Amino acid sequence: MPIIEVENLSKTYPVAIKEAGLKGTLNHFFRRQYRYVKAVQNVSFQIEAGEMVGFLGPNGAGKTTTLKMLAGLIHPSGGSVSVASYIPFRRQPKFLQKISLVMGQKQQLLWDLPAMDSLRINAAVYKIPDKEFKRRLGELTELLSLEDKLKQPVRKLSLGERMKAELLAALLHQPQVLFLDEPTLGLDVNAQVAVREFLKLYNQHYQATILLTSHYMADITALCDRVLIIHQGQLMYDGNLDKLLEQFAPCSEIRVEFAQVLPPEQLADYGEIEAIEGRKARFLVPREELTKTVSRILAQTEVVDLSITDPPIEETIGRLFNAGVVEEK
């Protein structure tokens, strides 16, 4: 049985309309009118226990609203949702024991106190016995490399260390389901890698189910085989990440450094030009024409360096948003 079941989930927000001037203010006060914004529209999916799933979409697509409904912070306008066999918006204590929500732009640790003080508060809230608290704390601090950081005031920790401490606080009660909203936002490359490695180890060790949103595609490609893509509140794709690339990236990318600068009209003969920088150029070429195109380039020009890769996944996702792709069955 799936641990997360979402069926025709929708959320509509009423937004008050106010005109300028005194008359507009009086009308706003006495005869307020509203327009309705559809943040999420009839979204359906299921996630099995232990899965790590990427949740992608541009700003304003409905990702955070969906996560908040799954975590029970927002009541849906329509549809049904079940997480760990509970209805989230009822906020039952046993449900709250099974989930955790981490938002990269929010913090739960007290700024001026050592992280350890906040962790002890969390342990008391979740009624974790002292012996079990110490055991879990030891495991998580070792996985996160935070052994010597928890006694420092949170404000003195680096951004990466604070994010690790936030994850530790969110996982102290060992939730079955973890919702992560931009957990690596603002972190440097090394901190991002450390957080990814921790999440991978945590999933393997505890078989936790993780639903992850991120604008850093490296987070998704490193952690998730399956992705959900939402755009303008609607689910556009639900399926394997590799199949997404195969289906919506039918071209290969050729990067070439020529011995001399070539005119754009000559370069255009080899494929769709993505960029030209001096003697360097990038092309998109259909996969079935790849061998012939490379042969032509090598025969007709003097090449210093040539490489063939798949287009960046960010570009593939961007094309998908613009194309209005339907959900994979």
CATH code of the domain in which 285 resides: 3.30.70
Query: Within a domain: residue 50?
Result: yes
| Mean local confidence (pLDDT), 22-38 | 86
Instruction: Work out the percent of the chain whose per-residue pLDDT is above 70.
Output: 94
Q: Do 128 and 113 sit in the same domain of this protein?
A: yes
Q: What is the count of structural domains for the chain? A: 2
Query: Within a domain: residue 320?
Result: no
Query: Within a domain: residue 319?
Result: no
Q: Do 82 and 226 sit in the same domain of this protein?
A: yes
Q: Do 147 and 288 sit in the same domain of this protein?
A: no
Query: Within a domain: residue 318?
Result: no
CA-to-CA distance for 257 and 251, rounded, in angstroms? 20
pLDDT of residue 327: 44
Q: Do 296 and 157 sit in the same domain of this protein?
A: no
Query: Within a domain: residue 323?
Result: no
Q: Do 254 and 239 sit in the same domain of this protein?
A: no
| Mean local confidence (pLDDT), 127-141 | 93
Residue 109: domain span: 4-245
pLDDT of residue 75: 95
Q: Do 78 and 226 sit in the same domain of this protein?
A: yes
Residue 9 has pLDDT above 90, yes or no: yes
Query: Within a domain: residue 302?
Result: yes
Q: What is the pLDDT of the chain when averaged over all its residues?
A: 89
Residue 83 has pLDDT above 70, yes or no: yes
pLDDT of residue 324: 57
| Mean local confidence (pLDDT), 62-81 | 94
| Mean local confidence (pLDDT), 140-164 | 89
49-53, 140-144, 314-318 — which is least confidently predicted?
A: 314-318
Supply the pTM of this predicted model.
0.79
Last residue of a domain, one of 245, 261, 296: 245
Assign residue 55 the CATH number of its domain: 3.40.50.300
Query: Within a domain: residue 56?
Result: yes
Last residue of a domain, one of 204, 219, 245: 245
Q: Do 257 and 128 sit in the same domain of this protein?
A: no
pLDDT single digits (tens) 184-198: 887 888 888 888 999
Instruction: Work out the percent of the chain whose per-residue pLDDT is above 90.
Output: 56
Query: Within a domain: residue 265?
Result: yes
| Mean local confidence (pLDDT), 215-244 | 88
pLDDT of residue 145: 86
Last residue of a domain, one of 230, 245, 260: 245
